[in-house]
């Protein structure tokens, strides 16, 4: 016993030494120790003054909004990869009715984790990535209003993710199998400790999102430059402002409900049990958060498209103020539609009808935006770059996702289609086809700014077409599956063919899996393109999209900032022709890249 403990101590000691050795290799610790440098001995110090510490310490200690934006982005893309692989496992499982590869309980676990991961660990953070990097640049602020809170908000996320995935990472405790909606009484009765960890992790990400939201509201209200007012605030910042307000009202409620659920699970309270408020209470609280969450996720992507699409259509966004007012309208109305997720729970039909009324009303502001995007394209000088392709794909997918949503808002239709794959198809058109596409548009559009390099344009287009085709095959097949009566969330579907046409159901599951494979290939290309281009892509000039020529009035503030950055980097000392913005190449080379970048 003592021998074992000794061995363990030695092992831990060796590990610590290894970590210290590794960190000293990554970073010269003396470089930012005020007393170091050997100046007292009169020797020349090797320490150089940098704007930021180098190496990994930079990323652990940064409070710069741009660095935090990149951290959010990297974190979100990693989560997207995890969630995507889970999705692919789900589709592979459903190739045959008896389940192809995994056990039912594991299927339930990855189904749960896929939903939570994509919505809370990918969706919200990737929006925060863009917002952190670009909102201060777009509104002429020096940084976020509270830079340290900004950093703390990000650093709550990695532990949150570890907790959410804890059920998979810690052997033997069992992952949560509650589905992302965590409906009571199932979520109370499950015994896996992984479910408790997931609830805690979710709570942590909610706290992070709320801190971020307060920061954005404060930044946009108080830190705007002198020349930025409510009339010329850009559309992306407007959507971030509205989203932040939604987060402020919605996420604390989720936090409270999660704590109540944790207490039901562990302390024998009865908030959501039959003896207490009942399982419906959970649904009311969850969806009062959950429906605004849909708009928390979709409004900023709408803002991204409203911002990027005009720049490749060569004209200003048609009806800019229509888009602003309709964004605000969605912000308000999103809190009056939560129970349209609950039409089939047996609630009073008079209540249900009022939720139907508000749900139909909220379709209008969304439709208004769609017409604005289409009208902006009308007679525009369209350049089909990767970001523009993703914007157009976004509009197309949003029309299908939106119209299928209007059907679900009608009580009689919902009663037929509720809890079938139709619902899954509808919201995946929105989350993948709309939110995902806008995110890709944003990543490609701003790639030159946050890397200083250009991505591989051909691979960008491959990524778009595979994503567009994959999305439509997969999720259209799901809409059809819903009409055929295939229930959602099932790990197997060996039902009696008299209930639903089993042969057709099998075929459409196959089609959906083929679509998911195409999607997977597209995303692999995306990851390769981003990583490879970040490391080796050609350096860009000040105007990588050639906006000054194509649409001078749309040359955005963030590109003005980018141009200034390149210019000030040049003036950093030394002879101008030898010093470059890019670590060694002559400046002419950087300029030569610019027209290439804008070719398409």
Partner 1 sequence: MGLTPFDRETLLDLTVNVIPLGILGFFILAFIVVNPFGWDPVISTIQFAIVGSMFVLLTILTYYAGKAISDAEAEMEAAEAAEGTDAETDESTA
Chain contacts with partner 1 (rule: CB under 8 A): 229-232, 319, 321-322, 324-326, 328-329, 331-333, 335-336, 348-351, 353-355, 357-358, 360-362, 364-365, 368
| Strand, helix or coil for residue 453 | strand
User: How far apart, in whole angstroms, are the C-alpha atoms of residue 127 and residue 245?
Assistant: 15
* DSSP structure class, residue 47: -
Q: How far apart are the first and last CA of the chain?
A: 69
Cα–Cα distance, 503 to 526 (Å, whole number): 35
The minimum distance between CB 399 and partner 1, in angstroms, equals 18
Helix/strand/coil for 420: strand
Q: What minimum distance in Å lies between the beta carbon of 368 and partner 1?
A: 5
Residue 15: both structure tokens together? 């590990």
Residue with smaller CB distance to partner 1, 292 or 515: 292
Q: Which is nearer to partner 1, 77 or 339 (CB)?
A: 339
Which tokens is 2 given? 């003592």
Number of Cβ atoms within 10 Å of the Cβ of 196: 19
Rounded to whole angstroms, the Cα distance separating 39 from 33 reads 12
From the CB of 213, what's the least distance to partner 1, in Å? 17
Torsion of CA 133, 135, 141, 146, to 10 degrees: -70
Other CB atoms within 10 A of residue 565 CB: 14
Phi, psi dihedrals of residue 62, rounded to the nearest 5°:
-65, 145
Q: How far is the CB of 488 from partner 1 (least distance, A)?
A: 27
Shorter beta-carbon distance to partner 1: residue 274 or 357: 357
Residue 222 beta carbon to partner 1: minimum distance, rounded to whole angstroms? 15
Residues 6+ apart with CB under 8 A from 21: none
**CA pair distance 29, 57, nearest whole angstrom:** 9
| DSSP secondary structure letters along 87-124 | HHHHHHHTTSTT-SSS-HHHHHHHHHHHHHIIIIIIIH
Contact 112/179 with Cβ under 8 angstroms?
Answer: yes
> Cβ atoms within 10 A of the Cβ of 307, count?
27
Q: By C-beta, is 231 or 571 nearer to partner 1?
A: 231
**Beta carbon nearer to partner 1, 402 or 537:** 402
CA 356/CA 303 separation, integer angstroms: 26
Of 324 and 554, CB closest to partner 1: 324
Q: Which is nearer to partner 1, 362 or 454 (CB)?
A: 362
* DSSP H/E element including 345: none
- Residue 331 vs 387, nearer CB to partner 1: 331
Which residues on neighbouring strands pair with residue 487, listed in sequence order? 420
CB of 351 to partner 1, least distance (A): 6
Q: Which is nearer to partner 1, 308 or 352 (CB)?
A: 352
Distances (CA, A) of 190 to 104, 111, 179, 184, 261: 15, 15, 12, 10, 12
Minimum CB separation from partner 1 for residue 398, in Å? 18
Q: Which is nearer to partner 1, 230 or 498 (CB)?
A: 230
b vs e for 514-542, b when ≥16 Cβ sit within 10 Å of the residue's Cβ? bbbbbbbebbebbeebbeebeeebbbbbb
Distance in Å, CB of 306 to partner 1, minimum: 14
Which is nearer to partner 1, 355 or 427 (by Cβ)?
355
Work out how close the CB of 323 gets to partner 1 at its nearest, in angstroms, rounded to a whole number. 9
Rounded least distance, CB 233 to partner 1, Å: 9
Both tokens assigned to 288: 């009062």
Neighbours of 416 (CB within 10 A): 13
Shortest spacing between CB 264 and partner 1, in angstroms? 26
State the minimum distance, in angstroms, from the CB of residue 376 to partner 1. 15
Of 332 and 511, which CB lies nearer to partner 1 in the complex structure?
A: 332
DSSP category for residue 435: I
Cβ distance to partner 1 smaller for residue 230 or 552: 230
Query: CA nearest 333: which of 306, 286, 365?
Result: 365
- Rounded Cα distance between 551 and 512, Å, is 41
The minimum distance between CB 391 and partner 1, in angstroms, equals 21
């Amino acid at each position: 016993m003592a021998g074992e403990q000794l061995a363990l101590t030695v092992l831990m000691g060796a590990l610590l030494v290894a970590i210290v050795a590794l960190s000293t290799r990554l970073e010269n610790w003396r470089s930012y120790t005020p007393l170091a440098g050997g100046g007292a001995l009169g020797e020349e110090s090797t320490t150089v003054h940098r704007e930021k510490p180098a190496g990994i310490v930079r990323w652990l200690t940064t409070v710069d909004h741009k660095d935090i934006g990149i951290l959010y982005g990297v974190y979100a893309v990693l989560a997207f990869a995890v969630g995507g692989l889970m999705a692919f496992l789900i589709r592979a499982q459903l190739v045959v009715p008896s389940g192809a590869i995994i056990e039912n309980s594991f299927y339930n676990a990855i189904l749960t984790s896929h939903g939570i991961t994509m919505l809370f660990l990918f969706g919200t953070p990737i929006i925060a990535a863009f917002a952190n990097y670009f909102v201060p640049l777009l509104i002429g602020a020096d940084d976020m209003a509270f830079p340290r809170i900004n950093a703390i908000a990000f650093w709550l996320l990695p532990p949150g993710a570890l907790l959410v995935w804890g059920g998979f990472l810690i052997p033997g405790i069992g992952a949560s199998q509650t589905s992302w909606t965590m409906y009571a009484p199932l979520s109370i009765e499950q015994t896996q400790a992984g479910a408790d960890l997931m609830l805690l992790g979710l709570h942590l990400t909610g706290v992070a999102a709320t801190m971020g939201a307060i920061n954005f509201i404060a930044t946009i209200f108080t830190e705007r430059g002198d020349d930025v007012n409510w009339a010329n605030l850009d559309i992306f910042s407007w959507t971030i402002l509205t989203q932040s307000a939604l987060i402020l009202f919605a996420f604390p409620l989720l936090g409270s409900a999660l704590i109540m659920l944790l207490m039901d699970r562990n302390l024998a309270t009865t908030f959501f049990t039959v003896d207490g408020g009942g399982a419906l209470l959970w649904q009311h609280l969850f969806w009062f958060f959950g429906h605004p969450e849909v708009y928390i996720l979709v409004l900023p992507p709408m803002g991204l498209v409203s911002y990027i699409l005009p720049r490749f259509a060569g004209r200003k966004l048609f009806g800019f103020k229509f888009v602003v007012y309709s964004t605000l309208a969605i912000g308000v109305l999103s809190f009056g539609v939560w129970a349209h997720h609950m039409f089939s729970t047996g609630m009073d039909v008079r209540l249900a009808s009022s939720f139907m009324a508000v749900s139909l009303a909220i379709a209008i502001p969304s439709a208004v935006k769609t017409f604005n995007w289409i009208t902006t394209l009308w007679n525009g000088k369209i350049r089909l770059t990767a970001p523009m392709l993703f914007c157009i794909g976004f509009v197309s997918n949003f029309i299908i996702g939106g119209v299928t949503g209007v059907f679900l808002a009608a009580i009689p239709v919902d009663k037929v289609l509720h809890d079938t794959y139709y619902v899954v198809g509808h919201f995946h058109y929105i989350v993948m086809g709309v939110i995902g596409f806008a995110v890709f548009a944003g990543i490609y559009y701003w790639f030159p700014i946050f890397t200083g390099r250009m991505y591989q344009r051909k691979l960008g287009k491959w990524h778009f077409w595979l994503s567009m085709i994959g999305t439509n095959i997969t999720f259209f097949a799901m809409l059809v599956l819903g009409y055929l009566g295939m229930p959602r969330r099932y790990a197997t579907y060996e039902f009696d063919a008299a209930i639903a046409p089993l042969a057709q159901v099998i075929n459409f599951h196959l089609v959906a899996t083929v679509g998911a494979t195409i999607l997977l290939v597209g995303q692999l290309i995306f990851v390769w393109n981003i990583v490879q281009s970040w490391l080796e892509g050609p350096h860009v000039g000040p105007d990588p999209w050639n906006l000054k020529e194509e649409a001078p009035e749309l040359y955005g503030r963030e590109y003005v900032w980018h141009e200034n950055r390149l210019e000030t980097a040049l003036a950093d000392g030394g002879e101008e022709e030898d010093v470059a913005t890019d670590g060694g190449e002559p400046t002419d080379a950087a300029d030569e890249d610019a027209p290439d970048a804008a070719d398409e």
